[in-house]
Amino acid sequence: MKVINLTPHEVRVARPLEDIPSIVYPVHPSRYIARASSKKQTLLVGLEDGTEIYTAPQLGGLIDPLPDEVLAGQDQIVQLLIMSEIGARAAKKSGYRGSIAVPDSGPDSAIRGETGQIVGVRRLYMFNE
């Protein structure tokens, strides 16, 4: 299966090995990044300390269309795109019909480094919205 990483980061998927996760499948970023457009947010309220609270952004489609070489595989079972959940939502809103997987960075899947940053995940999940 062809896997195309549309995030700006290497995605590392691990497998537990005697309670010590070992990175078994790094997926390097492609030259394309799926970035979502959003409509301007509206300021709801300003707090006394200067914090501003806005409405949630309204997600649009992709800022840049997916390239032809990515779109060509959307009707085949042999291609899987990896992107953020926001990118996946935007891609589906833009009409992409193919398979999309999202790195699961939840507490039981994220693998964290010494300073707390995520260095890998134990699984991907299929985006089906």
For the question of whether the overall pTM of this predicted structure is more than 0.95, the answer is no
**pLDDT per residue as tens, the chain (129 positions):** 788 888 888 888 887 654 555 666 788 888 888 888 777 778 888 888 988 888 877 777 787 888 887 887 767 666 788 898 888 888 888 888 888 999 998 888 888 888 998 888 888 899 887
- The structural domains of the chain, with segments of one domain joined by +, span 2-126
Classify burial at 4, counting beta carbons within 10 Å of its beta carbon; exposed 0-12, middle 13-18, buried 19 or more. buried
Report the pLDDT value the prediction gives residue 22, as an integer from 0 to 100.
Answer: 61
Report the pLDDT value the prediction gives residue 112, as an integer from 0 to 100.
Answer: 87
Report the pLDDT value the prediction gives residue 102, as an integer from 0 to 100.
Answer: 92
In this structure, what DSSP letter does residue 120 have?
E
Which residues, including other chains, have CB under 8 Å from residue 12's CB and lie 6 or more apart?
A: 23, 25, 26, 27, 111, 119, 120, 121
Report the pLDDT value the prediction gives residue 115, as an integer from 0 to 100.
Answer: 94
Report the pLDDT value the prediction gives residue 76, as an integer from 0 to 100.
Answer: 66
